[in-house]
Structure 1
Amino acid sequence: MKKIMIVDDNYLSAEGIEKNIDWETLNAEIIHVCYNGTSAIEAMKKEPADLIISDIEMPDLDGISMSRQALEINPMVKIILISAYDKFEYARRALLLGALDYIEKPLDYAYLIQKVKNAFALMEKEQKNLQLLKQSRPLLTEKFFREITHLPSSEAAYRLKPYLKYLNLELNYDFYAVVILELENAPDLKAVYGIEKFQMELFNLQDLITEETASLDFVYLLPDMDGYLCILGHSGCQSNSFRQLTSGLISSIADACQPLGLSLNAGIGTIVQDFWNLNHSYKSAVHALEYRFFFPHQNIFDGREALGSDLSVADFSDTKEDELIRLLCKKDTAAIDLWFQKFSDWLTQKFRTKNFAFIQIYSLLGRILKFFYELNLDTHDLEAKILYVYNHINEFHNTEELCQWLKDLCHLLCRKLDSSMNDYHQKLCELVISYINEHYTDNTLCLNDIAASANVSPAYLSALFKKNQGISLSDFITSQRISAAARYLTTTTMSLKEISLKCGYANQYYFSTSFKKKMGITPSAYREQHT
């Protein structure tokens, strides 16, 4: 039964609302009838009402001020404010405050009853939604942690701080880390077990993780399709101790998975002190886990090792790789040998472990392969050599051996470039010419579009086309457009404006100027001469 409070300094008005409405039929009861705002607030504190029907203009505490305090006591209370005056400012303030409705005196009780019914319907809807919200609180908590791992720290703090109290989260630990756990053999398990049993295996894994990490102060597991994202928090130790503790626990989990037929890969994110910086830890965990492709014999990857404990992201520059690509383009083998000597020295001085050096080598090999593809070379033999090194890189004993192999690879590429570059250039130009012939009618056609269609840089394409064809790209496009215009002029009766549009000119006058510059005669004169 809904609880009703009536507030009006006019005794007759308050009595009229109480007596002229059949509250029992509405499944409601009057619990308070107050004649000023102050007594209404005191009554509200003792027994909160579900619905307040109040006059606005009262001497001690007006209806709007009273409503504001009542909403502080019960934010879910519904309020219908009544005034003897048709004042827009009253209505506006009441609705901005959060009042449900605003009606004028003299009261139409049938109209008021309908407003009360509307209020009750809204209450029931809100109660239903509140129950759903309470039931979905675990999902909201999961969403909270998923958001915080994916949002930058400032945005995460701004958007998510209000949820801490509501979700009863007290996150004031000294250190935090994100660990990503993925089942490498998930596809095989799904094929053998089926999805339902595979999901059961994930629940078993969750129990195992919970047991093994019980010594940590805080653990929250976010389920993924093939594993879990673990958010860890701990106090009472140093950063390095927390890292060692985390690594040890993850190793224990991975070892415990093996007898169960579960092949677990783990990416351990960097340690952060501020909870709102978990995105940084998450990204480093993702980055660390990517290296399982390069190191298939390992299953635990530390974000600090992936980036280098003494390196920043800025150290991973493309400058050295760009320089090598330029030397390859020039086919300068002597300079390439010198580049690798410097590169070998740089690897030795810069990196303290083999894995760090290997990461740079993999990056360099990937860049060389990309260069092959851009040139559209026959790279089957080169790809085979590179894939072999991907799988046997640990067979190299030092950077000198590895760089010698890379030098040999680059020398082979230079020989290939000598024999195939001319063919490649010719094919590329043919492709560009075909693209221009298909798109010259588009007045937005530009060098960037053409280069993107050929999968090369604009500057490279511009220089190559001019060298190969003896004409710049812009002049060639103009030539194609003017040639097409000449055909239209002699074979159709289209207007100059229509022809200019069909030939890729948005402006008829610019078309006429270009035509005369190219042909030495205006379009109209050309038509007269040839028809």
Structure 2
Amino acid sequence: MYKIMIIDDNHISVDGICHNIDWSDLNAEVVCKAYDGQQALNYLQNNPVDLIISDIEMPQLDGLSLAENALKLNSSIKIILISAFDKFEYAKQAIRLGAFDYIEKPLDYAYLEEIIRNALDMLDKEQKNLAILKKSRPIMVDNFFHKLIQSSSDEARYTLSDYANYLQLNLEYHYYQAIVIRIQNAVEIKEKNGIEEYHIKLMSMSDTIGELFNKNFALVHTLSTFDEIVLLLGHNYSNPKYFYSTSYGLLTELIQLYKHHLFEINIGIGSIVKCLWSLSSSYSNALKSLEYRFFFPQKDIFTISDTVDKDYTVELYEVSGNEELIQLLCKNDLDGVKKWILSFSEELTQSYKNKQFIFLRVYQLLGHLLKFLCDMGLNINDMEKDIIKTYQQLDSFSTSAEIFQWLFHLCQTISDEMNLSTKSHQEHVCAATLEYIQQHYQDNTLCLNEIAENVHISPAHLSALFKKQRQQNISDVIADIRIEAACSLLKNTSLPLKEISAKVGYSNQYYFSSCFKKKTGKTPSSYR
């Protein structure tokens, strides 16, 4: 039942409202009648009320001030303000303060009851929504952490600070870390067991992770996506090294728990950060470390510091010189490619004494090459398979020379594929050129520029390419096709020469006759 408070310094007004409203029909009861604002405020500080009906003009504490204080105590309380004065300023202040409605005296009790009913209906809806909101707190917490790891530090601090307080999240710790636990065989499990069974098992793993880490970390939160679990940790350990070693040890234990399980898991460990709002950098670091699984399939847990010497992390992303190799491949200059690879190998072997890092640089180079080939529309599936197979057998290379020899053989394959593709492209252009001529030889305006525009290359390039591939000029091809068509018309029709000339693309009959005799050795008339 809703609790109602009525306040007016006029006792008759209070009694009038009490006795002229059917409170039982509204599922409400008047729990407090007050005759000044201060008395009402004192009651509100110790007793819950759902709806206040208050006069504005009162001694000590007026209705507007009472409304302002009441909403500070309970923001969901509904307030209906009443005044005997027709002051528009009162209405504006009432709405600005957050009052539900403003009514003028003398009161129309039927209208007041309607306003009260509307206020209680809104209160009912808000209470139901509040209940739903409280039930959805776990979802809001998940959304909070999802947004946190996807946002920059400044953006996260600006947009999420208030939510941390609202959700009552204790997030004041010395250090934080993000970890990504990826299900490598997720697709196979879904196909075999179904999506529902897969996610039930994924939720069970999330529970196991929580139980494992809750003993050692104050903040333990897991976010499940389709193919991975993101683990967020926070604690007040004295130094980051101990934090890191503790989480690493527990992750090793997790790997052992799932060693012979349905799931094949790999773990990427993010860096330790001191600020909650910087967790996105730790998460990004964890994702990046998982990329190295391609190089080291025998490992389960990955960190950038484990795979690459820290002094080389910046150089890892340098790609200078790669374009030069691409140019050599485009020219089919295999001698130049061999010299480039020799120089590249000498640079790496002199600078770094780490086989895995050298191989990582080679992979980076190949990634650049394969992207170039992919952009050209070439089929690179076989080359990718060769690269994957080689990485899985990395330990089979006993010297750096073997790695670079393999690289050269792969470059030979790339060069062959590019040459094959180039030849195929040129054949396609020539075929398209012939087809266009066949379809348009009757147009006396047909020319090289028009054909080149249709096959999307320059006229000069088309002319040279066609001559190289077909050992014939395009103008000769046009003439041959036109004369061949003319021969057919001369043999099979009785059309006059002038009309035949026009039908095969010649605007001048005499020029047609000259070209015909040049090609066949006869005039059109004698041929007929």
- TM-score calculated relative to the size of structure 2: 0.74
Which of 462, 470, 475 aligns to 1:469? It is: 462
Give the drift of 1:296.
Answer: 2.3
- Once the two structures are superposed, the pairs formed by residues 3-402 of structure 1 within 5 Å of their partners are 3-213=3-213, 214-305=215-306, 309-310=310-311, 316-348=317-349, 353-375=354-376, 385-402=386-403
* Whole-angstrom CA distance in 2 between matches of 1:305 and 1:118: 65
Cα distance change of structure 1 residues 2 and 325 upon mapping to structure 2, 3 Å threshold: same
Residue identity (%):
40
The 10-residue stretch of structure 1 (16-25 or 274-283) with the greater mean CA deviation from structure 2? 16-25
- 8 Å Cα contact 2:95-2:101 kept in structure 1: yes
Letter in 2 for 1:468: H
> Any gaps of 5 or more consecutive residues in structure 1?
436-453, 455-460, 472-531
Deviations 1:353-395 (A, max 9, x none): 4443333322322322233344455767755644542443332
Deviations 1:408-433 (A, max 9, x none): 43345446656763553564698899
CA–CA distance in structure 2, aligned partners of residues 370 and 434 of structure 1: 33
Q: Could you tell me how far apart the structure 2 residues matched to 1:256 and 1:384 are?
A: 32
Q: CA deviation at 1:36?
A: 2.8
| Alpha carbons of structure 1 residues 384 and 7: separation in structure 2 relative to 1, 3 Å | closer
| 1:71 positional shift | 0.7
Measure the CA separation in 2 of the matches of 1:416 and 1:109: 90
CA–CA distance in structure 1, aligned partners of residues 162 and 351 of structure 2: 45
The count of residues paired between Structure 1 and Structure 2 equals 445
Q: Deviations over 1:461-487 (max 9, x none)?
A: 9xx64651369xxxxxxxxxxxxxxxx
Contact 2:294-2:388 within 8 A present in 1 as well:
no
SS of equivalent residue, structure 2 residue 299 = coil
Question: 1:53-95: CA deviations, max 9, x gaps?
Answer: 1223334333222211111111111011123344444323322
Return 144-153 or 345-354, whichever deviates more.
345-354
Assess, with a 3 A threshold, how the Cα gap between structure 1 residues 467 and 343 changes in structure 2: closer, same or farther: farther
User: What is the alpha-carbon distance in structure 1 between the residues aligned to residue 255 and residue 433 of structure 2?
Assistant: 54
Quote the Cα distance in structure 2 between the aligned partners of 1:189 and 1:327. 45
Question: Does the 8 Å CA contact 2:296/2:391 hold for their aligned counterparts?
Answer: no
Greater mean alpha carbon deviation, residues 120-129 or residues 60-69: 60-69
**What is the root-mean-square deviation in Å for CA atoms of aligned residues?**
3.3
Counterpart contact for 2:319–2:365, Cα < 8 Å: no
Q: Structure 1 residue 135: deviation in Å?
A: 1.8
- The whole-number CA distance in structure 1 between the counterparts of 2:416 and 2:261 is 52
Quick check: which has more Rg, 1 or 2? 2
SS of alignment partner, residue 149 of structure 1: helix
- Contact residue 284 and residue 304 of structure 1 kept, 8 A: no
Between the aligned partners of 1:284 and 1:428, the Cα distance in structure 2 is: 47
SS of alignment partner, residue 5 of structure 2? strand
In structure 2, distance between residues paired with 1:56 and 1:131: 33
Structure 2: runs of 5 or more not aligned? 437-454, 465-528
- In structure 2, distance between residues paired with 1:434 and 1:8: 96
Read off the aligned partner of 1:253 and give its amino acid letter: L
Per-residue CA shift, 1:15-74, capped at 9, x if unaligned? 322232232332322222233322222221121321111223334333222211111111
Give the whole-Å Cα distance in 2 for the aligned partners of 1:221 and 1:138. 11
Q: Which amino acid aligns with 1:397?
A: S
Map of 1:421 onto structure 2: 422
d(CA) in 1 for partners of 2:357, 2:240:
22
Amino acid at match of 1:31: V
- Name the CA distance, whole Å, in 2 between partners of 1:155 and 1:390: 39
Distance verdict in 2 for CA 1:375–1:203, change over 3 Å = closer
Decide whether aligned partners of structure 1 residues 62 and 372 sit closer, same or farther in structure 2, where only a CA change above 3 A counts: same
Secondary structure of 1:46's partner?
coil
* SS of residue in 2 equivalent to 1:262: coil
